[in-house]
Structure 1
Amino acid sequence: MNKKVLVMLAVPKDEIQKVLPDWNLIYPENEKFSQEELIEKVVDCDAIITVYGNKIVNEVIDAAPNLKMIANFGAGYDNIDVAHAKSKGIIITNSPDPVTEPTAELAMGLMISVARRMAEMDRKLREKQVTWGVMRNLSTTLVGKTLGIIGMGAIGKALARRAIASGMKVVYHNRNRVDEVIEKSFSAQYLALDELLKLSDVVSLNMPLTAETKGMIGKEELALMKSSAYLINTARGPVIDQQALIEALHSGRIAGAGLDVYENEPTVPDELLAMDNVVLIPHLGTATHETRKEMSTLVAENIKAFFNGETPPNRVV
């Protein structure tokens, strides 16, 4: 099989080659191809491996007349103009399964870190700004608190499992209510969005970025939250009105936030960088050695299935 696949960024290569040993793999020498290089190298490719958070412009798609498939490295595929690809008969797959546990793990870590002031105290201790004492540097325990999960998909469920093990209660909001068996397994209660925001001690955002979820958490929604509540975002930055969040944190409208994603990545507003009540990390939800390798394998398996005439396991369009 003399097929060609272009890999936009330098994701784990060996795993792709193991699944597609007979394919011509066009792989960047450095971290990634420039737009000019993409347009030049994609010309006779049958498939492209795109990477979440890195937009593939339509000019690249248009430069590849033989292109039949875009296989996205990541669960979210908002980096692809789906309508444009669909109009050209190009199918799109993603790689959701490997991202579930590490993203839920990170969301749990952000919850603990911001509530227990771990990142803040680490920073202040290193800068010799901590005064020790029994009633100093107090924080908030999560045991007995209510976690509100917005987006009860695979990641939301994995987070719920962790939260319950930590002694938390779980409520959730989802576009569609989940099966009653799943609700019972987590002792989870379905709530309207405004009720969830009012009740929760921690709100975790775990929904995909769509036209409906963009800006879903804005000034009005933040105003509904408890002043003692924390907001966690491991979804996509634009699901929050970032300026409204900054204002809510400045004013004490909410107690703090744990953020893995931002509205205009990789730019992080100076206002957030200056706040002690915010834990900030650079989009690390799936950033583990193991997960990256699993994602590369799954991306390649989707390609292999499609070009073998089978239905790819993770076709989204």
Structure 2
Amino acid sequence: MLAQLGIEFQHVSDCALIDDLEDVLALFVRQEIIDKPMLDLFPNLKVVQRYGVGVDNVNVEYANKRGIVVCNTPQYGQQHEVSNHAVALYLALSRRLLTRDRDVRAGKWDIGQAEPIAGCRDATLGLIGYGQIARATAKRFRSLGFSSVLVVDPALTHSTATAEDVQIVAIEELFKRSDVISLHAPLNASTKHMIGTQLLSKAKPSAFLINVSRGGLVDENALSDALNMGQLAGAGIDVFETEPPNTSNALLGAPNTILTDHVAWYSEAAVTNLQTAAAEQVVRVLSNENTI
């Protein structure tokens, strides 16, 4: 697609490997931090295209001042992969799959009842953020037997909530009532470390926290403390505030956790769709067409 515009595509691990920074018209990025100094390296840059939904790793305000278009790819279908991953983390935690596997391999048998295993029937799901991925997550949890969905999202209207059979609540109430709390909010100044000691102390001891959104939403030390004190039954974490996490990260030693390496978005099909959608948007920008 880019070749049709006479544009060469290069995949590099470092900007120092680019021969002529003045020739760069577009950047495709996933997790790299695209801040003011990075943007200033490219005097003729026209578009920054993020592989993914969030753009918190891009200085959008400065890019806009420079006339640089910043695009994301919310339409490529990752809601299916991420919501599936959220459910997988919950099921693995609640069904104690890791410890059951470990015990069977160690020659132990018929001791599963030694660990509490909660059922799904009539359970309550709490969603913080209610975009496409959260909606897909709600659908999957309902299929497991969850009967109620609580939502915290300032953009959600009561009419939409009623139509979609979800309940708008305050975040404190969500923590008090939910059996599973799943995070789907963007990371910005108002949401950074929104999940801390105070909220975690209100959760049911039988509740699970799932984060497939942004690591910075959670105070990781506070979450580790809550898990160690039994304030939560477990946590499934796919994203960390610093990635990869430092070896000193408290969650690495926290009990009843499953940690994955920011892989919730991934499948081979999703990558193909993602790359195609990203390239299509860059072509539209460089062709002076409207973006989506």
- Provide the TM-score with structure 1 as the length reference: 0.85
**How many angstroms apart in 1 are the aligned matches of 2:3 and 2:278?**
10
TM-aligned CA deviation for residue 176 of structure 1: 2.1
1:81 aligns to 2:59 (yes or no): yes
For residues 57 and 110 of structure 1, do their structure 2 counterparts lie closer, same or farther at Cα, with a shift above 3 Å needed?
Answer: same
Distance 2:254 2:268 in 1: 30
- How many angstroms does 1:131 deviate by? 4.1
Corresponding residue SS for 1:135: helix
Structure 2: 5+ residue stretches without partners: none
Q: 1:123 to 1:57 in 2, by over 3 A?
A: farther
RMSD value, Cα: 2.0
Q: Equivalent residue for 2:87? A: 108
Equivalent position of 2:9 in the other structure: 26
> 2:258 corresponds to which residue?
279
SS in 2 for 1:25: coil
Work out the percentage of aligned pairs sharing the same amino acid.
Answer: 30
Partner of residue 158, structure 1: 136
**What does residue 8 of structure 1 align with?**
none
Q: Where do residues 164-313 of structure 1 align in structure 2 (5 Å cutoff)? A: 164-168=142-146, 169-178=148-157, 180-181=159-160, 183-185=162-164, 187-267=165-245, 269=248, 271-313=250-292
The CA deviation string for residues 153-198 of structure 1, in whole angstroms up to 9 with x for no partner, is 111111111111111021111022246245433x211111111111
With 266-275 and 42-51 compared, the bigger mean Cα shift is at 266-275
Task: Provide closer, same or farther for how the CA distance between residues 266 and 123 of structure 1 changes in structure 2, counting only shifts above 3 A.
Answer: farther
| Structure 2: distance between partners of 1:34 and 1:224 | 45
Rounded to whole Å, the distance in 2 between the matches of 1:64 and 1:21 is 22
Task: Check whether the contact 1:20–1:300 (CA below 8 A) recurs between aligned residues.
Answer: no
Query: CA 1:34–1:191 in structure 2 vs 1: closer, same or farther (change >3 Å)?
Result: same
Q: CA 1:153–1:212 in 2, change beyond 3 Å: closer, same or farther?
A: same
Cα offset for 1:89?
1.1
- Corresponding residue number in structure 2 for 1:5: none
Report the count of equivalent residues.
289
Q: 1:71 to 1:179 in 2, by over 3 A?
A: farther
Q: What's the TM-score, normalizing by structure 2?
A: 0.92
Partner residue of 1:125 out of 90, 104, 119: 104
Distance 1:242 1:271 in 2: 7
CA contact (8 A) 2:103 2:109 kept: no
Code of the residue aligned with 1:108 in structure 2: it is: V
**Residues 279-288 or 301-310, more deviating:** 301-310
- 2:128 matched to 1:145? no
Deviation at 1:20, TM superposition (A): 5.0
Change (3 A) 1:78 1:20: farther
Deviations 1:80-110 (A, max 9, x none): 1112212211110000122211111111111
* C-alpha separation in 2, matches of 1:155 and 1:210: 18
Moved more, 215-224 or 99-108: 99-108
User: Structure 2 vs 1, CA of residues 285 and 23 (structure 1 numbering), >3 Å: closer, same or farther?
Assistant: farther
Per-residue deviation, 1:67: 0.8
The CA deviation at 1:41 is 4.4
- Give the Cα–Cα distance (whole angstroms) in 1 for the partners of residues 88 and 26 of structure 2: 36
Whether the aligned pair in 2 keeps the contact of 1:120 and 1:277 (CA below 8 Å) is no
Equivalent position amino acid for 1:26 in 2: F
